[in-house]
Amino acid sequence: MVLSLLLAIAAALRLAGLGDAALWYDESGSVWMATLPFDRMIAATGGDTHPPLYFAILWLWVRIGGTSEFWVRVPSLLFSLAIIPLAWRLAKRLNLPYSATLAGAGLVTVSTAQIHYAQEARMYSLLAVMVLIGLFAALDQRWWLFGLALAALCWTHNYGLLYGVVLNAVALWQSRRWSWGLVLANAIAFVSFTPWLAVLAVQMREVAAGYWIQPVTPGSVLYSLYIVVWGYAMPDTMDAHAALLLYAALAWTISRAVLQRNSMALGLLGIALAPVALAGIVSVLWRPILLPRGLFPSNVPLLLAMAWAFTDGVSVQRRLTVGIVIAPVLAVALLSHWLYNGQNKGQPQEIVGQIAWRHGDIVYHANEGSYNTLHFYSPELWPQYMLPDSDWRNPGSYSPVTRAAMGFHLAALADLQWRRAWLVWGGGPTTSATEDEAIRHILHTYPHQLISEKKDEMTHQAIYLLTNEPAPVLCCGLGSRR
């Protein structure tokens, strides 16, 4: 009964505004790849930074119901809803007190990180489900399921490899020794992932050069934990409050678990924090890979551990005090998510609405930022091209392999036939200086007018209308006299 109520609340929170926000850059990439023929989809993901399992699921999904914002996010919502009963069962499997089970599952239900990834057409909710299934399989020593979960983890996200190490540690701790079942489970996962290993080596080079990868510092580690719990919902004015609340709660949880030598709580903390430590170690010893959103599966064990720390052996009065402190911050985060989620993801429809396209025009993009996001919001008859970047690469841009598979059209503006060109220029911290110079050269070469412009401390977005009409011929010679 209680679990059903939590599921109903979770569904309501995750369905609210599910299709309101436009597809942002990463989501547009997901859906664009999913609309390709299957072989091109595999090639596109191979040239990108993720394995193809989620994209294969989305590939099937869009062929059932299309590519509306609501529909393409439904798989993530369903995976997110599956996390609720899995969290509840995990708490019971670990013999958490009922109060901790209820509080932990309740926190997972209203977690803004959970809601964020439930409403995003990306693979993170699927990754979290696979980690939880693998954890159950490790605890119950169901090796066939463990092998399948490990394989699914590897095929879902490259961080699945980190969580696979942690799950193997749990399996060893539970069984107290290597067994042929555990060896066979890992063999199943390894053999299934073998075809992708060569691709993975190339992807790691792309990931290490990505702007989204964090340098390993105490601040970046704390930020990663912040994203695991709060996601991206908190307004700037509340960031400090939310961070202090989280780190205080985490410090209290760790201290209680250590002082009481509670193996269950220490195990949950280990499962949650070990992937963070592994990402840091790999980043220091090999190459940078710290990706906060890749650590999202740590959300459930971390929240269950904190729920235990604030309920087990704690008086009702103190529980109420903690609730009074947490409730306003959580309410602000939820409200902020619904109010600003669409704005944070961008408004490509506004850009499309400012382009008064007519026959003979082209739309010319400075980089993938606008090309990728406008793909689903502009009419198909618009010819769209992008500035070639053979001499430079913006951090985080698609590889040439992925661009070719997705069908990007790269061409110098001078090599195209056009009367008017709508130049969409999005500059920011990841923009190459060479790209900026190339755009300035275009603006210097062709007559143009500024259609719209937005600037802030980090970004510069502008739309220009360029003309390529022949210059009028002025009569300046000696004409015949009448």
Q: Tell me the C-alpha distance between 294 and 317, whole Å.
A: 37
Quick one: average pLDDT of 141-145?
A: 95
Tell me which of 331-340, 363-372, 427-436 is least confident: 427-436
Quick one: average pLDDT of 22-43?
A: 95
Residue 50 and residue 158 in contact, taking contact as beta carbons nearer than 8 Å: yes
Quick one: average pLDDT of 426-435?
A: 79
Residue 207 pLDDT: 61
Residue matched to tokens 């009481």: 260
**pLDDT confidence band for 482 (50 / 70 / 90):** very low
Residue 478 pLDDT: 34
Percent of the chain with pLDDT over 90: 70
Q: Tell me the C-alpha distance between 414 and 445, whole Å.
A: 10
Residue 391 pLDDT: 72
**pLDDT confidence band for 435 (50 / 70 / 90):** confident
The ranges assigned to domains in the chain are: 2-19+68-344, 348-467
- Residue 414 burial (C-beta neighbours within 10 Å; 0-12, 13-18, 19+): exposed
What residues contact 77, with CB distance under 8 A and at least 6 apart?
A: 14, 15, 18, 118, 119, 125
Report which secondary-structure segment, H or E, holds 342: helix 316-344
Tell me which of 227-241, 249-263, 312-326, 331-345 is least confident: 331-345
Quick one: average pLDDT of 177-185?
A: 89
What residues contact 91, with CB distance under 8 A and at least 6 apart?
A: 100, 101, 104, 105, 304, 307
What residues contact 117, with CB distance under 8 A and at least 6 apart?
A: 76, 80, 124, 125, 128, 231, 293, 296
Residue 1 pLDDT: 84
Please state the pTM of the whole predicted model. 0.92
For 289-345, the pLDDT digits (tens) are 899 999 999 999 999 999 999 999 889 898 999 899 899 999 999 998 888 776 667
pLDDT(481) > 50: no
pLDDT(155) > 90: yes
**pLDDT confidence band for 288 (50 / 70 / 90):** confident
What residues contact 470, with CB distance under 8 A and at least 6 apart?
A: none
Residue 92 pLDDT: 95
Residue 455 pLDDT: 83
Phi, psi angle pair for 351, to nearest 5° = -65, -45
Residue matched to tokens 């092998």: 147
Percent of the chain with pLDDT over 70: 94
Residue 212 pLDDT: 66
Quick one: average pLDDT of 387-394?
A: 78
Residue 459 pLDDT: 77
For 40-62, the pLDDT digits (tens) are 999 999 888 899 999 999 999 99
pLDDT(78) > 90: yes
- Please name which of 366, 371, 416 lies closest in space to residue 389, comparing C-alpha atoms: 366
Query: Which comes out higher in pLDDT, residue 470 or 331?
Result: 331
Amino acid letter, residue 21:
A
Q: Tell me the C-alpha distance between 204 and 202, whole Å.
A: 5
Q: Tell me the C-alpha distance between 119 and 328, whole Å.
A: 23
Query: Which comes out higher in pLDDT, residue 226 or 210?
Result: 226
Residue 166 pLDDT: 97
Structure tokens at 344: 């944070």
For 196-225, the pLDDT digits (tens) are 988 888 777 666 556 567 788 999 999 999
Strands 420-427 and 361-365, by their bridges, are parallel
